[in-house]
Amino acid sequence: MSIDHLPTAVSAEAPFLELLARDADAEAYEQPLQLARAEGVSEDRLAGLERAKLLALRVRAELEGRRRREAELSALFETAHDLAGLRDLDEVLQAIVHRARSLLGTDIAYLSLNDPTAGDTYMRVTEGSVSARFQQVRLGMGEGLGGLVAQTARPYVTEDYFRDERFRHTRSIDTAVEDEGLVAILGVPLLLGTEVIGVLFAADRRARVFEREQIALVRSFAALAAAAIDSANLLAETRTALADLEHASDIIRDRSGVIERASDVHDRLAQLVLRGGGVQDVAAAVSEVLDGTVEFRESADAPAAALEWSRADGHAVPHGDDWIAAVAAGGELLGALVMRGHPALDPVDQRTLERAAMVTSLLLLARRSAGEAERRVRGELLDDLLDGRDHDPRLLRERAARLDADLDSPHVVLAAHPGSGTTAGDREGESRGRLWAAASHLAATRHGLAAERNGGTVLLLPVEEAGTAAELAQEAAKCLSASAREPVTVGASGPVQAPAADPEAVSAGYAEARRCVDALRLLGRAGQGAAAEDFGFLGLLLSDGRDISGFVRRTIGDLVAYDERRGTDLVRTLDAYFASGMSPARTKDCLHVHVNTVAQRLERIAHLLGEDWQTPSRTLEIQLALRLHRLGSAAER
């Protein structure tokens, strides 16, 4: 059977499945279409190939995204796995420095350890260094940025080392730093409890601002380095005890078994994280290994005094019959691991609980970083659409596909503003922050985009075939108000048919959506959602499309349709009624009918338009719709 006689779906998808199987470049997916055009196949066949190509590219983008996320998680948690199977301290410390440099994207990373005998700090591991002088430098306590960190047990950041006067500059240290060409340096202490044993650094050869999350991440790596050193010291002490105390062999075997059990739990935790496990999965694994009940709790749900004690001390602490291990990163409390009903806990099991808390903090930080990165990418794409910075539809589609968004389907632009817009100071910042978080979540779950703009947020969400812009605005207002814990006013544009092909329509839609927000506030409807079609004749002023026929249809469409079906004259009767000053007697003279006929027609009109049709606001809209209908009918004739 030739390929032309194969079922359309199978023959269309086959070449793209082969391309997916061999992980071909994105450009290769155009070749089946080019070949088909050269062979002169039918338009239906070409359309089928085009659909198959788009589907295959979406699958390829999804596979690439998953591979990238797996690589990022693997890089972050391989350190925990190395620590669990600690054999060579230098290799573990080298891996920690390498991964810290890789994740922060700095030019160099290095680790120094304190020398209690000499009373100074010396370089232990470097990554990216090119200067031999720098690799051999020693810092006295309080000298240079590293000496200050080692002395104060606090992290320090300098954007420009040689202009920073917070620490004591010495000729030897400044010369080494100058040889290496360093400018911006971040240093965090390696802590065992409250004791500083060294410093972990990340540095750039250019001015740079280290963000809070990056500092927290380096502090977590510093905690892992300290734990690795502590574990190595523990192993060294065990080996010494084996050599010096042969009579304690039974005790050593027992201790070795406990250490192996601790190593096993770290292996299991690392595998759990790499497989995409969550915080509750980590708690369940530790519960099984420690033969108890371990659960993760939010900071507000854990015993406050014990949680603060554990965070400050860096260890799990007893609390009645329970043990509390703070889950923290960079001084920020993220929660707690609570081991219930286990008052007696040996030191190694205590250390296992503490390291489980450390892995949990890394997991939470990684999830947060991934979420923030995705929100930033969604915002950048929407900003480009609004500002018209990228008019290449192909590139816009590719960027959207990586976010699981389809910019070739109809979308609605939504402008969302919190409260009344009069809140000032810190409260305004908190309000905008909550709205941004809620809008980002809504965009991610609805396969759309969100960005911060003009004191509020703007969203680009797909609209279902049977849905309307007004319904989407109302739904978004309800959802965002609940998440932001305050009224959120949402205005919607008319549908934008293909944002990737027409970015200017997105910008125009945002302007229309903002006008709707302003109209809602002026009408005292803050906290609601609406589109231009919800404002009656005001919608003609708010909408860029000036949908006159839509306004007429919404206002008197039932009357026009009734006349067309029944051959009646309700529209002309209503027009005469308004022209006669809303007097039935003068209306019957104008129409040359009996007054009872006028009354019957007005009753039918009330049934079709609603009992409030004679209120001032409705009569204004109806009279405008009648005039526009009359003008439209005259133009058609």
Q: How confident is the model over 398-452, as pLDDT tens digits?
A: 887 887 888 888 898 898 888 754 444 556 667 777 888 888 888 888 888 888 8
User: Using an 8 Å Cβ cutoff, are 5 and 45 in contact?
Assistant: no
Q: What does the block give as tokens for 576?
A: 């005469």
User: Using an 8 Å Cβ cutoff, are 456 and 388 in contact?
Assistant: no
CB neighbours of 162 closer than 8 A, spacing ≥ 6?
169, 174, 177, 178, 183
What pLDDT shows up at residue 559? 84
Region 508-514: mean pLDDT is 82
Region 451-475: mean pLDDT is 83
Per-residue confidence band for 4, with pLDDT thresholds at 50, 70 and 90: very low
What pLDDT shows up at residue 402? 80
Per-residue confidence band for 551, with pLDDT thresholds at 50, 70 and 90: low
CB neighbours of 420 closer than 8 A, spacing ≥ 6?
521, 526
Residue corresponding to tokens 């100071």: 425
Helix ranges, 22-168 (H): 31-39, 43-84, 89-104, 132-135, 144-152
For the ranges 50-54, 62-66, 106-110, 275-279, the one whose mean pLDDT is highest:
106-110
The rounded distance, in Å, linking the Cα atoms of 423 and 102 is 42
Residue corresponding to tokens 């816009």: 396
Mean pLDDT of the chain: 78
CB neighbours of 636 closer than 8 A, spacing ≥ 6?
none
Q: How many CB atoms lie within 10 A of CB 255?
A: 19
What pLDDT shows up at residue 247? 57
User: Using an 8 Å Cβ cutoff, are 145 and 185 in contact?
Assistant: yes
Residue corresponding to tokens 């759990």: 272
Region 315-337: mean pLDDT is 80
CB neighbours of 87 closer than 8 A, spacing ≥ 6?
none
The helix/strand/coil state of 582 is coil
The rounded distance, in Å, linking the Cα atoms of 550 and 540 is 10
Q: What does the block give as tokens for 394?
A: 């192909």
Region 621-635: mean pLDDT is 65
What pLDDT shows up at residue 250? 58
Residue 251 has pLDDT above 60, yes or no: no
Calculate ∠ Cα 624-627-628, nearest 5°.
85
Better pLDDT: 75 or 599: 599
Region 49-60: mean pLDDT is 84
What pLDDT shows up at residue 102? 84
The helix/strand/coil state of 99 is helix
* H or E stretch covering 360: helix 347-387
Classify residue 544 by its DSSP letter.
Answer: S
What pLDDT shows up at residue 83? 63
- Counting residues of the chain whose pLDDT is more than 90, the rounded percentage is 7
Residue 541 has pLDDT above 50, yes or no: no
Residue 276 has pLDDT above 80, yes or no: no
Residue 482 has pLDDT above 70, yes or no: yes
Amino acid occupying residue 203? A
Give me the sign of the Cα torsion angle 374, 375, 378, 380.
negative
> Which residues on neighbouring strands pair with residue 332, listed in sequence order?
329
- Counting residues of the chain whose pLDDT is more than 70, the rounded percentage is 79
Calculate ∠ Cα 126-131-137, nearest 5°.
70
What pLDDT shows up at residue 542? 43
What pLDDT shows up at residue 10? 54
Region 580-604: mean pLDDT is 84
What pLDDT shows up at residue 633? 61
CB neighbours of 632 closer than 8 A, spacing ≥ 6?
548, 549, 552
Region 478-482: mean pLDDT is 87
Burial group, residue 206, by CB count within 10 angstroms (0-12, 13-18, 19+): exposed
What pLDDT shows up at residue 320? 81
pTM of this structure: 0.38
Amino acid occupying residue 315? H
Residue corresponding to tokens 């539809």: 393
User: Using an 8 Å Cβ cutoff, are 238 and 56 in contact?
Assistant: no
What pLDDT shows up at residue 6? 43
User: Using an 8 Å Cβ cutoff, are 184 and 208 in contact?
Assistant: yes
What pLDDT shows up at residue 635? 43
The rounded distance, in Å, linking the Cα atoms of 376 and 395 is 18
What pLDDT shows up at residue 161? 92
Question: For residue 521, which of 418, 413, 412, 429 has the smallest C-alpha distance?
Answer: 418
What pLDDT shows up at residue 326? 83
Residue 41 has pLDDT above 70, yes or no: yes
Residue 167 has pLDDT above 60, yes or no: yes
User: In this predicted model, what pLDDT tens digit does every residue of 117-141 receive, in sequence order?
Assistant: 888 888 899 999 999 999 998 888 7
Per-residue confidence band for 469, with pLDDT thresholds at 50, 70 and 90: confident
What pLDDT shows up at residue 1? 36
For the ranges 215-229, 384-398, 415-429, 513-527, the one whose mean pLDDT is highest:
215-229
